[in-house]
Amino acid sequence: MMKIILATLGLMALLCCHAQGQSQSAKLATSAKTNNQNFDQIDFFHPSQQDNPELSRQLSAYGLLELDEEALASALHQPPEQLVLILPASGRSRQIELELARVEIASSAFSSVLASTGKPVSVAAGLHYRGVIKGVEGSVAALSLFEGEVMGLFSSKTHGNLVLGALEEERNKGVYILYEDHEALSQLAFDCATSDEGPAYTREQLQTPVAERTMNECVGIYLEVDHDIYQSKGGTTGAVNYITGLFNQVAMLYANEGISIKLSEMYIWDVPSPYNGTNSFNLLSQFLNYRPNFNGDLGQLVSYQASGGIAYLSGLCSTYSPRHSFSSINTTYAPVPTYSFSVMVMAHELGHLFGSRHTHACAWNGNGTALDACPGYTEGDCPLPGNPVGGGTIMSYCHISSTGINFSNGFGPQPGNVIRNAANAAPCLQLCGDDGGNNPPPTGDSCAGQELALSIVLDAYGSETSWELRDSNNTILYSGGPYPNTTNGALVEQKFCLPDGCYTFYISDSFGDGICCNFGNGAYSLVDTSGAMIASGGNFGFSESTGFCLPLADEPNPDPDPCLSINFNDYEILSFGGAQDIGYANLYENGKVLKIGGNAWKAIELEYEVKPGTVIEFEFGSTIQGEIHGIGFDDNNSISANRTFQLFGLQNWGVNGHNDYPGNATWRRYVIPVGEFYTGSFNRLFFVADHDRYPRNGNSYFRNIRIYDGDSCDRAAQLSGAAPLLLEENDQPATLKIFPNPTRGRITLNFLSPQAGQAYIQAFSLTGQLVLEQELGVLPGANQELLDVSALPSGTYVLKVLLGETQIVEKLTVIGR
């Protein structure tokens, strides 16, 4: 008996060491504070006044929040390295404060590849953060920011797992929910089909590694995204954002175990995929057959099909055994996002690939017993143990019991040690962003020249493979290889920063059979930051080379109109920015002038390729200052500070350098070189008169808009100084038209103003009593305003518009309140 007790105590001593250390999430926050780095507090959310009876029936602990899209866009424009985020108390949720530090979740050569083309596609990268709930020991937190969307997952012993995400229903656009996930997880089916057959873990596998790998050595994860997710998320950007947000949360769990996983590639099925099945085993088999090799150390197919998940237990760096897994994730439970369920499934199946079995398997404790019996049984012939206090771990089934799974528990000591020992013994892992070659380190945070990315997937004989990059003088600038022979399918990545000039890339195989296809399906690619392919291949015999010059020649893409002039009558004025827009839009002077106001974000559909030489020229005016007045191009319906050229306003938000409107109700001409600030394909031109706070009466006027490249527009008139700089007085007589008249509520006023400035609209009863008055700003010429008279009793009124010394009078009849 004494020997058993001593053996058990010895095992406990070996297991305790890692658990007692500070988690990686806590280290991120602590390190920033130790180095006196500033934490920027950004208030992304405020309590929502909405409620949803369906939520009350499904969840006992939740709160509804509303997203401040301006604050989000500002953070995306100028990303903070450290962030304090306060989620205010709302409904049935209490306030929590997060301390977060920015992290990179992908390797330096990561790309998102479309199935339809087989080529990388450019997707705006989100921002990813990890850290802790302030003041809560042992807590973990992950947050991802994208254009128009935030995803978060936070966990602690006291809070449980908290999910932050947007409500799916269109009517709740801009409304987010923060909720405790136990009730939702218990209702979602997850049955992992991975077998637990095999011998129990040895004492060595269960003990804490004596010398763990550093967090600089990465496990590359290849993710394949099924077509159903692509469709559900509205296309490439939505799918990439959703999966990378989930991956940040998965990577947080592994980082807290001392293991760094990074995305090596994401393959998106933007066309129907070859995968089809109702159970996870069939889908895993199809994935293995269709994708025997991939760009990464471990691979996973992610889909809405089937249920549960499955993975091989081959471990890392297995030359001939599969490194594949399948996860059936879930989009929503009732109307709420279920990130935590999807994160649990993905992390669980990757845990199998690292070599961990289920916690209810008869494989643990050094004696072939189980760690828990959360599903109500054990896998194997061993007695039922008790269930864990304080929640289960990631490799458990505790989510289907009252115990639940708490992400702050991580994998637990024994499964965590199995995973750490597997990573520690893996010969194929490389330094994050390093290929082991003889290459100069970066000289700064950014590339002053042109950045290229090399990616090589090795075959089984890495010792035969080497490469060089030479300049026009035949000087070797970068090189790599030979590599170990135990690296079939291993990924080599290297970034180059090169000045303009001509170069040659050489790759060689000393045996003469290339890296494809006799001993693995190796391949290489060299691309620029836009994803343009410079060199690629794999089946080349002894060697091959590719010459190229920087900058790369642009492919011909003729403009449909070298000098595009905008008449607003030719376009529908659309709402832009979702819940940001609650304002109006009116046209004047036969569509030449657009006026927006009342907290307005508006847009017109405009397909345009913004190039480095693209210019937008226009005239702008305003009679009442709001918070943000501006203009810009965009490719989606979310507001973006880095695409908004601010011209005027009380709030400093947007691209700087043009915020100089004098605010004196004059027309001011602007010529903005858009291509010097951003380039790309856009499908809308947007206009801003943002004014969130009372009285929300700020306005913006736009006219004479022209878009061109270089000097493709005739600019002689402007260069001669003939461009109008002031709002000239209009000598047309002041007139007033009212429709509908009679009215049952709202009327439209059309009138000509002889001058710019303030105007007053007044309504009098026939006895001379003032019953309504409203102030507004006007420009010379045609003006149009909406007026709500629904509060007036039925009857006849005298309506006056006061324009300085000018007074316009018309009769108004209100009927049938």
Query: Model confidence over 659-712: pLDDT tens digits?
Result: 999 887 888 999 999 999 999 889 999 999 999 888 888 999 999 999 999 776
What's the rounded Cα separation, in Å, for the pair 18 and 207? 10
Q: What is the SS3 assignment for 206? A: helix
Mean pLDDT, residues 588-593 taken together:
82
**Percentage of the residues of the chain whose pLDDT score is greater than 70:** 85
What's the rounded Cα separation, in Å, for the pair 310 and 792? 68
E strand residue ranges, 475-538? 476-480, 491-498, 501-509, 516-517, 520-521, 523-528, 533-537
Query: CATH classification of 434-550, choosing from 1.20.1640, 1.10.10, 2.60.40, 2.40.50?
Result: 2.60.40
What's the rounded Cα separation, in Å, for the pair 358 and 371? 9
* Each residue's pLDDT tens digit, 510-527: 887 788 766 666 788 898
* Each residue's pLDDT tens digit, 3-17: 333 334 344 444 444
The per-residue pLDDT for 554 is 56
The per-residue pLDDT for 432 is 63
| Alpha helix ranges (H) inside 471-526 | none
Write out the two tokens for 274: 């070859």
Closest CA to 611 of 687, 689, 556, 661: 556
Q: Is 598 left (phi over 0), alpha (psi -120 to 50) or beta?
A: left
The per-residue pLDDT for 561 is 55
Mean pLDDT, residues 585-592 taken together:
83
DSSP code for 356: -
Mean pLDDT, residues 535-560 taken together:
73
What's the rounded Cα separation, in Å, for the pair 290 and 287? 5
**Buried b or exposed e, range 437-465, using 16+ CB within 10 angstroms:** bebeeeeeeebeebebbbbbbbbbbbbbb
Closest CA to 417 of 467, 351, 372, 480: 351
Our measurement of the distance from residue 512's CA atom to the centroid of its chain's CA atoms, rounded to an integer in Å, reads: 44
The chain-wide mean pLDDT, for the chain, equals 83
> Mean pLDDT lowest for which of 293-307, 436-450, 562-576?
436-450
What is the number of alpha carbons within 13 Å of residue 688 lying toward its C-beta? 29
User: Residue 22 pLDDT > 90, yes or no?
Assistant: no
User: Residue 183 pLDDT > 90, yes or no?
Assistant: no
What's the rounded Cα separation, in Å, for the pair 551 and 101? 35
The per-residue pLDDT for 520 is 67
Closest CA to 418 of 364, 338, 342: 364
Cα distances from 386 to residues 374, 382, 395, 397, 475, in angstroms, run: 8, 13, 16, 13, 67
What's the rounded Cα separation, in Å, for the pair 45 and 558? 44
Span 2-187+202-356+411-425 CATH architecture: 3-Layer(aba) Sandwich (3.40)
Sequence-distant (6+) residues with CB within 8 A of 109 are 264, 453, 454, 455, 493, 494, 495
Q: Is the dihedral of CA 441, 446, 450, 456 positive or negative?
A: positive
The per-residue pLDDT for 436 is 33
> Residues 618, 708: contact at Cβ < 8 Å?
no
Q: What is the SS3 assignment for 70? A: helix
Closest CA to 443 of 485, 484, 496: 496
> Residues 235, 243: contact at Cβ < 8 Å?
no
* Each residue's pLDDT tens digit, 214-235: 556 789 999 999 999 999 988 8
| Inter-axis angle of helices 24-34 and 236-255, nearest 10 | 90
What's the rounded Cα separation, in Å, for the pair 341 and 733? 68
3-state helix, strand, coil in the chain (%, to 5): 20, 35, 45
> Mean pLDDT lowest for which of 56-60, 332-336, 383-387?
332-336
| Alpha helix ranges (H) inside 363-427 | 413-425
The model carries a pTM of: 0.66
Q: Residue 629 — very low, low, confident or very high, per pLDDT cuts 50/70/90?
A: very high
The per-residue pLDDT for 117 is 86
> Residues 410, 253: contact at Cβ < 8 Å?
yes
User: Residue 719 pLDDT > 50, yes or no?
Assistant: no
Using a 10 angstrom Cβ sphere, with 0-12 exposed, 13-18 middle and 19 or more buried, the burial of residue 504 is: middle
Write out the two tokens for 222: 């290849």
User: Residue 21 pLDDT > 60, yes or no?
Assistant: no
Cα distances from 299 to residues 288, 302, 309, 315, 658, in angstroms, run: 10, 10, 13, 12, 48
> Mean pLDDT lowest for which of 155-159, 344-348, 753-757?
753-757
Q: What is the SS3 assignment for 787? A: strand
Closest CA to 239 of 268, 272, 262: 268
> Mean pLDDT lowest for which of 9-23, 34-48, 378-392, 640-654?
9-23
Residue predicted with more confidence, 799 or 438: 799
DSSP code for 674: G
Q: Which of 450-464, 624-638, 719-733 has the highest mean pLDDT?
A: 624-638
Sequence-distant (6+) residues with CB within 8 A of 554 are none
Our measurement of the distance from residue 423's CA atom to the centroid of its chain's CA atoms, rounded to an integer in Å, reads: 29
Residue 515: count of CB within 10 angstroms of its CB: 26
Write out the two tokens for 641: 């500070």
Cis peptide before 742 (omega within 30 of 0): yes
User: Residue 810 pLDDT > 60, yes or no?
Assistant: yes
> Residues 581, 684: contact at Cβ < 8 Å?
no
Residue with tokens 């905008």: 566
The per-residue pLDDT for 732 is 42
DSSP code for 655: B
The per-residue pLDDT for 728 is 36
DSSP code for 246: H
What's the rounded Cα separation, in Å, for the pair 570 and 563? 16
Domain with CATH 3.40.390.10 in the chain: 2-187+202-356+411-425
Closest CA to 491 of 258, 355, 298: 298
Write out the two tokens for 482: 């030979």
> Residues 622, 646: contact at Cβ < 8 Å?
no
The per-residue pLDDT for 414 is 97
Q: Which helix (H) or strand (E) is 69 found in, with range? A: helix 69-77
Domain with CATH 2.60.40.3080 in the chain: 736-814
User: Residue 746 pLDDT > 50, yes or no?
Assistant: yes
Sequence-distant (6+) residues with CB within 8 A of 262 are 104, 105, 106, 107, 110, 218, 219, 220, 221, 251, 432
Closest CA to 763 of 803, 801, 805, 709: 801
Closest CA to 146 of 186, 92, 96, 105: 105
Cis peptide before 209 (omega within 30 of 0): no
Residue 224: count of CB within 10 angstroms of its CB: 25
* Each residue's pLDDT tens digit, 117-170: 888 887 878 999 999 999 999 999 999 999 889 999 999 998 899 999 998 764
Number of residues that this document lists for the chain: 817
What's the rounded Cα separation, in Å, for the pair 538 and 544? 9
Q: Residue 570 — very low, low, confident or very high, per pLDDT cuts 50/70/90?
A: confident
Q: Which of 341-350, 400-409, 702-711, 786-795 has the highest mean pLDDT?
A: 341-350
DSSP assignment string, 363-375: TBTTTTB-S--TT
Q: Residue 448 — very low, low, confident or very high, per pLDDT cuts 50/70/90?
A: low
The per-residue pLDDT for 441 is 35
Domain 563-719, CATH: 2.60.120.260
Domain 736-814, CATH: 2.60.40.3080
